[in-house]
C-alpha cells in the first residue's frame, strides 16, 4: 500500500494580506472602499537653520496642523542609505584625474565618507501626508460600500479629497515646504518598495504597460 506523502498547506498570496484594492489616478482605494490621497513633502535641514528660523518653522507648522478642519495621517519612512554607487563614482572620477594632488584629495574624501558611514548609520527619510476618505461620508449607502460601483466610490472620493488636497498643498507652500501629490505610478512604486524593501529602491515600467496585477513579496 502506497504511503501518501504529506503535503504542505496552501499559502495565501500577498494580495490576500494587502488591503489595497486599486489605484485610480491619484486615489489609493482600499478593500473596504475607504480611500486617500498621498502627498510627499520635502525635508528641511532643520539643524542648519538659526534659532529664529527654527522657531518660525515650528510655529508655522503648528499653526498649519491646528488650522485643518479634516483629519490627516503623517507617514515617515526611514531606510539605511546605500552609498556604494557614490563611492564608485568618486573612484571613477579619481582615476580620471591627471593631477596627483586632486587625485589624492578625492581618495582622502572617499575614505572620509566610508569612515562616517561605518561609525554612524546614515538614513534616508521620506515624509508623506495622507488625506483619508471614509465611505461613511457618502451617507447611508456608504455603510455597505462593497455593494457600490467602484468607479462611483472613486468619483465621490475625488469630490471629497481634492479640495482638501489642494488646501493642504497651499498651506505647506506657505511655510516653505515643497510638496508633490503622488500619481498612480509613484503610489504603486511606493507600495512595491514597502513590500519589497531594497537598498536602492525599485522602479517600474509605466503602469499602463502591465496587463495584470502582480504583487510579490521576497
Q: Is the pLDDT of residue 213 over 70?
A: no
- Per the model's pLDDT, the better-predicted residue between 173 and 213 turns out to be 173
Q: What percent of the chain has pLDDT over 70?
A: 83
Q: Please tell me whether residue 173 adopts helix, strand or coil conformation.
A: helix
> How high is the pLDDT of residue 133?
94
> How high is the pLDDT of residue 147?
76
| Whether residues 163 and 68 fall in one domain | yes
Give the chain's domain count.
2
In a domain, 95, yes or no: yes
138-159 pLDDT tens trace? 877 666 777 788 898 899 999 9
- Per the model's pLDDT, the better-predicted residue between 133 and 14 turns out to be 133
160-204 pLDDT tens trace? 999 999 999 999 998 888 999 999 999 988 888 888 777 666 777
Q: Is the pLDDT of residue 7 over 70?
A: no
Q: Is the pLDDT of residue 128 over 60?
A: yes
In a domain, 154, yes or no: yes
Of 63, 96, 121, the domain-final residue: 121
Q: Please tell me whether residue 15 adopts helix, strand or coil conformation.
A: helix
For residue 80, give the C-alpha cell.
Answer: 539605511
Q: What percent of the chain has pLDDT over 90?
A: 29
How far does CA 87 lie from the centroid of its chain? 26
- What whole-number distance in Å separates Cα of residue 204 and Cα of residue 191? 11
- Per the model's pLDDT, the better-predicted residue between 7 and 37 turns out to be 37
| Whether residues 97 and 200 fall in one domain | no
Q: Please tell me whether residue 28 adopts helix, strand or coil conformation.
A: strand
Domain extent at residue 55? 15-79+125-209
Torsion of CA 85, 87, 92, 96, to 10 degrees: 150
| Whether residues 148 and 129 fall in one domain | yes
> How high is the pLDDT of residue 106?
86
CA distances from 142 to 36, 82, 86, 116, 165 (A): 16, 45, 51, 54, 22
| Whether residues 109 and 47 fall in one domain | no
Mean pLDDT of 1-30: 70
> How high is the pLDDT of residue 168?
95
18-58 pLDDT tens trace? 788 889 989 999 988 899 999 999 888 777 788 898 898 88
> How high is the pLDDT of residue 66?
92
Of 68, 93, 121, the domain-final residue: 121
Amino acid at each position: 500500500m502506497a504511503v501518501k506523502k504529506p503535503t504542505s498547506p496552501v499559502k495565501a498570496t500577498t494580495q490576500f494580506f494587502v488591503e489595497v484594492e486599486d489605484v485610480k489616478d491619484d486615489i489609493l482605494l482600499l478593500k473596504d472602499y475607504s480611500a486617500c490621497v498621498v502627498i510627499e513633502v520635502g525635508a528641511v535641514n532643520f539643524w542648519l537653520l538659526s534659532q529664529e528660523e527654527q522657531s518660525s518653522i515650528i510655529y508655522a507648522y503648528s499653526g498649519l496642523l491646528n488650522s485643518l478642519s479634516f483629519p490627516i495621517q503623517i507617514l515617515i519612512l526611514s531606510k539605511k542609505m546605500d552609498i556604494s554607487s557614490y563611492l564608485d563614482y568618486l573612484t571613477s572620477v579619481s582615476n580620471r584625474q591627471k593631477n596627483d594632488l586632486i587625485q589624492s584629495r578625492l581618495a582622502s574624501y572617499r575614505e572620509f565618507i566610508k569612515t562616517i558611514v561605518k561609525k554612524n548609520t546614515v538614513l534616508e527619510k521620506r515624509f508623506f501626508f495622507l488625506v483619508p476618505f471614509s465611505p461613511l461620508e457618502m451617507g447611508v449607502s456608504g455603510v455597505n460600500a462593497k455593494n457600490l460601483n467602484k468607479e462611483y466610490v472613486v468619483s465621490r472620493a475625488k469630490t471629497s479629497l481634492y479640495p482638501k488636497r489642494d488646501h493642504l498643498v497651499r498651506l505647506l507652500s506657505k511655510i516653505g515646504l515643497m510638496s508633490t501629490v503622488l500619481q498612480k505610478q509613484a503610489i504603486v512604486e511606493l507600495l512595491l518598495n514597502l513590500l519589497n524593501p531594497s537598498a536602492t529602491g525599485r522602479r517600474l515600467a509605466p503602469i499602463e504597460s502591465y496587463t495584470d496585477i502582480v504583487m510579490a513579496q521576497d
